[in-house]
A and B are shown apart, each in its own frame.
Chain A
Amino acid sequence: MGKHFFAALRRHLNTFLTLMLVGLLFLALRWANTRLDDFTLRILRTGAVYIVAAVSYNLINGITGQFSLGPNGFMALGGYVVALLMLPVPQKQFVWFLEPLIWPLNSFSFASTWYFFGLSLLLAGLMGAFGAFLVGIPSFRLRGDYLAIATFGFGEIIFVLANNLIPLTNGPLGMKGIPELASVYWCFGWAVIATLVVSNIANSSYGRAMKAVRDDEVAAEAMGVNVFQAKMLAFVVSGFFAGVAGGLLVPLITTISPTLFTFTMTFNLLIIIVLGGLGSITGSVITAFSFAIASEVLRAVESPMNIGPIHIPGIAGMRMVVFSALLVLLMIFYRRGIFGQFELSWDWIRSLLTKAAGEEVRKKWTRGKTSS
């Protein structure tokens, strides 16, 4: 039996290693959850949500090569779904004081339990996927950059609707008092799911079809790839996870309003995936998390400071200047992003280890030779 176990272990080594890593992450989260203060935890959770959004955005922009500007729209859809489902009924009556909320949402809410929250996140994802499906059908019938225009328009439409459909969204006032359900487990759980699913897709036959579409659409079609289907799958999956990311962000900050999902959100995600390297999932994960942390750390540049005799008053928005400058520098020196198209994988680590081991053996060998 032991033999069988080890045979299976060797065959599925990468899966076992991944599971172990996820286990370790879980332990680290448990530690963080009890030891770290709320402020730090909040940054970590935001980082995890950015991972979900960035990784899924990379699937359509980096891996399939279709320039979408839509994640803010899909995130807004997901965010409003979760907000409307999870906001308790008394709070709803309190928030909609100008016009009443439409039926049946005014008389019903999910209880704040983990399974209802999980369900509402799935619905948020499906809503994002449905949005992507609607935008994708007309856009992918055309070849070229129509997707960028269509998705940009979609985001703006959602923004206008959120501002004006007061009986559904409460307009510019938005909602507050949404239960803070997005714990570290939820955020990092979805970050792990999004990363694993997207990298599985990228490394599968479907992912190869998507990359083929990115590299040469005409050749891909001639080799039997259904180009429309490949783009559509990537876009809908991307929309799904964007919806989930929006659904996680809202119960993290406990409020929602149309300004949360403006084009700035898409712009931030674009910075993340370009900095990380278009098409590199590893790059997206690391840069997304670093971006969330850097956004907090760089708050320092927005406060008033004294550099020698010069006094600089606090300038709101200085952080974005720093990010933009970083982006410009990167485009000059590392045009393909920090990670290019590199992917961290178990096989890569193993090849590195065997190389190192080989080096060790060679050293021993030459030392033995010289000493004898």
Chain B
Amino acid sequence: MDTGKNIVLKLEHLTIKFGGLIAVNDFCLEIEKGELVGLIGPNGAGKTTVFNIVTGQYEPTSGTVLLEGRDITGWRPHLIAASGIARTFQNVRLFTGMSVLDNVLVSQHLRLRSPFLSAALHLPDYAREERHVRAKAMDLLERLELTPFAKELAGNLPYGQQRRLEIARALSTNPKLLLLDEPAAGMNPEETTRLMRFICRIRDEFSLTIFLIEHDMRLVMGICERIRVIDYGISIAEGVPDEIRRDSRVIAAYLGEGGE
């Protein structure tokens, strides 16, 4: 095991095939505690597939996913969430028929200790736990400036607030590692600037490690400390933003091979 370095997520030789298509090929990555790492690549490069493997939506054909040294490959998604990985989705996936507060409370369910029967009969031990998680959720909403919407249906929020709520819901699971799938999608430059500040702030406040996918280069170059580029499921480059910006293979992948 690595000593001195504090590796939160370690992906070893991840490969996934869908029929004849190799969506992700031999993907390796280490992310240290507190790092903010970006994953970029053209559309269809397999970025979200990497996220889906890490969060247990897909089981890799081969390779392993290690969270703080523990092998979590092939675990069910809810167990991976419980072990400390939370995510947001490329196209917002809130519980639209539930209130903002309830959306955040759903993420507390995995830590619930009262048995089903005491919840069904509303026994004192459950009532106490419910009061506790409600206070915790309200506190989280307060920190993310969502308190005014607490009782609003999630589906009725403006788009920007929906994105913010999705992050709040993920934070409510109390994660060590947060995966953000295109957090700036559909945002104007001003909103993106605010989002960049917001991401840095929650990383510090919640002592998170963040791994994000993004197409908005200003965001990726502005806040990521390290960037990995993939194309057709294969890693083609890795480095700090300045190196990536000048990398010929990256430019080729984004703009097409020269001369055509």
Contact = CB atoms under 8 A, between A and B. Distances in A.
Interface of A: 197, 200-201, 204-209, 211-212, 214-216, 218-227, 233, 237, 279, 341
Interface of A is mostly: helix
Given A208-B109, A221-B77, 13 more contacts: A200-B122, A205-B105, A205-B112, A211-B95, A211-B106, A212-B98, A215-B94, A215-B97, A216-B93, A218-B89, A219-B93, A225-B110, A341-B97
B120 A208 contact: no
Nearest to A200: B122
A201 B130 CA distance: 12
21 contacts: A197-B120, A200-B120, A204-B126, A205-B105, A205-B114, A206-B112, A208-B98, A209-B109, A211-B97, A211-B102, A212-B98, A215-B95, A215-B96, A218-B57, A222-B57, A222-B81, A222-B89, A223-B110, A224-B81, A224-B109, A225-B106
A238 B168 CA distance: 32
Nearest to B83: A224
Contacts of B108: 205
A205 B130 contact: yes
A226 B78 contact: yes
B120 to A, nearest CB: 5
In this complex, which of B55, B107, B108, B109 has the most chain A Cβ atoms within 10 angstroms of its Cβ?
A: B109
Contacts of A209: 106, 109
Interface string B30-65: 000000000000000000000000010100000000
Contact of A215 (B98, B107, B122, B129): B98
Interface of B: 55, 57, 76-78, 81-82, 86-87, 89, 93-98, 102, 105-110, 112, 114, 116, 119-122, 126, 129-130, 133, 169-170, 172-173
B116 A206 contact: yes
Contact of A223 (B76, B121, B173): B173
Contacts of B129: 205
B126 A208 contact: no
Contacts of B77: 221-222
A64 B192 CA distance: 36
The 8 closest A-B pairs by CB, nearest first: A224-B110, A224-B81, A204-B119, A215-B95, A219-B93, A221-B77, A212-B106, A223-B107
Contact of B119 (A201, A215, A216, A223): A201
A341 B114 CA distance: 27
Contacts of A224: 78, 81-82, 107, 109-110, 173
A70 to B, nearest CB: 21
